[in-house]
Amino acid sequence: MPNVPAQNWGLEQIVADLRASRETLHRTRHPLGIRELPSREAVINIVAGLRAAMFPTHYGAPDLTDETVDYYVGHTLESTLRVLAEQIRRALRFLPEQADTPDDVLKARAFDVAREFATQLPGIRALLVSDIQAAYTGDPAAQHITEILLCYPGVWAMTHHRLAHALHRLGVPLLARFINEIAHSATGIDIHPGATIGPSFFIDHGTGVVIGETAIIGERVRLYQAVTLGAKSFAADIDGALIKGNARHPIVEDDVVIYAGATILGRVTIGRGSVIGGNVWLTHSVPPGSSVSQGKVREGERTDDGRR
């Protein structure tokens, strides 16, 4: 048999080069060397548990009865909130103001945030029900509420967003971003957890929708696929670094419809009851009741279905 040379991957040099990249040349680790990162798997399980607690007959155990459902909801919430508190603790450590907080204090803070978040779940469920009803009302293909709750990607994305937005407002932006990016991966709908979205919000089809951090959306708004509510420009400081937190995304008032492929950029206002046509590129405000199509604005003109 021919002599086969021993395999040598040269691992010693590769490992050394990776260490140099990791520790010196291209460092990505947190400055404090934090190793307890939030867990994507844990966050997925948290959202599943919260969804089951809010909609137990759709996402909970299959054999629930009127006698057992409350027990199931309580048990699911208790176990889910314990995991959530731990993930909040890990996420809080990444906030500059929590860098030197003692572990016991941070753990107590995480518990308080998780408990406050839990008190908001009934209100979050009410918002989600309004979103589901908006989908049923706005989509002639929808057969019943269960179909929407189980199948519609827009409702899936909004479930994640409503939960993430609450955590974002409670001061846990990293964990909130985790939750929304999980939905983004699954649906193609990209909503920043900082975006403020009113009740009865319907994303039809959904793929490619982008909603930026400082967007404000009113009540009974409908978006179709590939709509972007984005920023037109990014302010920078004297060193060229982007200034974060500025209001730079659109305000969409109540009862607005935005059709597929429309791009709306900057801190502009889309007036109440307006209709933005497909593939429109819009970088200025429009008054209430406007109809915009391919660069034309016709104030107060009715659409074919009677909307203004």
Q: How many CA atoms lie within 13 A of 250 on its CB side?
A: 26
d(C-alpha 60, C-alpha 240), whole Å: 50
Give the number of domains in the chain.
2
For residue 245, the enclosing domain spans: 208-303
24 within domain boundaries: no
**Beta carbons of 218 and 272 less than 8 angstroms apart:** yes
48 within domain boundaries: yes
Exposed, middle or buried, 55 (CB in 10 Å: 0-12/13-18/19+)? middle
**Beta carbons of 280 and 262 less than 8 angstroms apart:** yes
299 within domain boundaries: yes
* Strand partners of residue 265: 230
pLDDT at 26: 80
* Cα angle 306, 272, 140; round to 5: 45
Q: Do 170 and 233 fall within a single domain?
A: no
CATH of the domain at 274: 2.160.10.10
pLDDT at 2: 62
121 within domain boundaries: yes
42 within domain boundaries: yes
Q: Do 73 and 159 fall within a single domain?
A: yes
**Beta carbons of 164 and 38 less than 8 angstroms apart:** no
Q: pLDDT tens digits, the chain, 308 residues: what are they?
A: 566 566 788 999 999 999 999 888 887 776 666 668 899 999 999 999 999 999 999 999 999 999 999 999 999 999 999 999 999 999 999 898 988 899 999 999 999 999 999 999 999 999 999 999 999 999 999 999 999 999 999 999 999 999 999 999 999 999 999 999 999 999 999 999 999 999 999 999 999 999 999 999 999 999 999 999 999 977 777 777 767 778 999 999 999 999 999 999 999 999 999 999 999 999 999 999 999 998 555 655 554 444 44
pLDDT at 108: 97
Q: Do 170 and 232 fall within a single domain?
A: no
Reported pTM? 0.88
Q: Do 212 and 182 fall within a single domain?
A: no
CA nearest neighbour of 174 among 82, 92, 86, 84: 92
CA nearest neighbour of 306 among 294, 292, 289, 293: 289
